[in-house]
Amino acid sequence: MPMSQVEVPLSGLADFQNSIYLQGLGDVVPALPTDLTKLEGLAERALSAQAFGYVAGSAGSESTARANRAAFDKWRIVPRMLRDVAERDLSVEVLGTAMPSPLLLAPIGVQSIFHPDGELAVARAAAAEKVPMVLSTASSYSIEDVAEANGDGPRWYQLYWPKDRDLAVSFLERAKAAGYTALVVTLDTFTLAWRPRDLDQAYLPFLRGIGVANYFSDPVFQKAVGGPITKENRDMAILHWVANFGNPSLTWDDLIFLRDHWDGPIALKGIQHPDDARQAVDAGMDAVIVSNHGGRQVDGAIASLDALPGVVEAVHDQATVLFDSGIRTGADIAKALALGAKAVLVARPYAYGLGLAGQAGVQHVVRCLQAELELTMTLSGIKSLDGLNPDILVRA
């Protein structure tokens, strides 16, 4: 019997581990490292200095980004033994979307600076792995083109809420028509923060016409600049983007507007304070995403993982709590779920995977995280996501 047909002790998502070792018998080793913390260093060598600075950089002295990672080390898992973990199930449904594991691909803008196929490659990877992708408003390919690349894969849409309300409605209508089933509204980035890596290179991709595909392809946007975007009106279109990108005057009362124009589930991204989480529930939101944008917005801010328990307590089962900012390993996912998140969004690691190996690089990142999560759980005596609760953790 060929080795590949032997029944292995761990099937499921952890089977990725078996396939790596089996390929090794033919002298094939993984093209990318399986310790995903190593991707950043490789990406630094592979990407242009501008693209690398854009993805790896954070706000100010980058202390929030460091705190995001350090917060995971403050919690340790306490493995338990003899608990029959022969059958495991990591699948979950979040906001009406079924997924093989509690993992989504976070919204990341301007992906064509990492790889020419950008969001199209990510959409294909997401569909192949059946993992939901969250498409950014600031994508390098349009809502419709990404949907086509994603096929019948699960997809959500992330809104950067523009000043022009008609433009916001147009984005929502386009996303709905193109099969995006949930709306993520990012609240923490109505303007870009002080980001020294980008400032020192005087690099903002949007001003170069990258990451504005959804705007330039939009009928409302086009009408505002006098017609389809051409060489002649391109600069004016970019200035119109600058004037419209974010709206610092929004308040909680404005959320009614979104409810009126989006009939699917809505998640608010960028929540860190328990009172904001409670206000989200009061406003009838379906979910909050505990996130500090990977430390890219407020330097010196609370680590996202440190904010999670307070938000979970405040929401008290009245809304779904999702988490991002600092996820690099399967163990990180286990800790975030143990502290009350229903699922996590992975971000920079898949952007590095995209930059290093396109669609295959994104799939590699997804498979590594899923396999590592399943192995972490199994070896800790946990066979389903319900088993991930604060009792499995101690403070370091």
Which chain residues interact with ligand FMN by CB under 6 A?
54-55, 106-109, 136, 138, 158, 186, 269, 291, 293-294, 324-327, 347-348, 351
Q: By C-beta, is 270 or 387 nearer to ligand FMN? A: 270
Tokens of 274: 């328990």
Shortest distance in whole angstroms from residue 339 CB to ligand FMN: 16
The answer on whether 296 is annotated among ligand-binding residues is yes
Q: By C-beta, is 54 or 203 nearer to ligand FMN? A: 54
Shortest distance in whole angstroms from residue 118 CB to ligand FMN: 11
DSSP 307-371: HHHHHHHHHTTSSEEEE-SS--SHHHHHHHHHTT-SEEEE-HHHHHHHHHHHHHHHHHHHHHHHH
φ/ψ of 267, rounded to 5, equals -120, 135
Which of 115, 240, 293, 364 is catalytic? The answer is 293
As a whole number of Å, the CA-based R_g of the chain is 21
Shortest distance in whole angstroms from residue 288 CB to ligand FMN: 13
The answer on whether 269 is annotated among ligand-binding residues is yes
Neighbour count for residue 99 (Cβ, 10 Å): 18
> What is the CA 145 to chain-centroid distance, rounded?
19
Question: Is position 240 annotated as part of the catalytic site?
Answer: no
The answer on whether 111 is annotated among ligand-binding residues is no
**The pairing of beta strand 75-77 with beta strand 393-395:** antiparallel
Q: By C-beta, is 62 or 166 nearer to ligand FMN? A: 62
- HSE value, Cβ hemisphere, 13 Å, CA-based, for 244: 23
Shortest distance in whole angstroms from residue 274 CB to ligand FMN: 19
The answer on whether 91 is annotated among ligand-binding residues is no
Q: By C-beta, is 18 or 97 nearer to ligand FMN? A: 97
Q: By C-beta, is 85 or 271 nearer to ligand FMN? A: 271
Shortest distance in whole angstroms from residue 138 CB to ligand FMN: 4
The answer on whether 229 is annotated among ligand-binding residues is no
Which residue's CB atom is positioned nearest to ligand FMN? 294
The answer on whether 326 is annotated among ligand-binding residues is yes
Instruction: Looking at 130-231, list the stretches that DSSP marks H as alpha helix, in order from N- to C-terminal side.
Output: 143-150, 165-177, 196-200, 213-216, 219-224
Q: Residue 72: in which H helix or E strand, if any?
A: helix 63-73
Tokens of 81: 């033994």
Per the rule left: phi > 0, alpha: psi between -120 and 50, beta: everything else, 131 is beta
- Residue ranges of the annotated binding site for glyoxylate are 54, 160, 195, 293, 296
- Residue ranges of the annotated binding site are 54, 107-109, 136, 158, 160, 186, 195, 269, 291, 293, 296, 324-328
- Residue ranges of the annotated binding site for FMN are 107-109, 136, 158, 186, 269, 291, 324-328
**Annotated catalytic sites, by residue?**
293
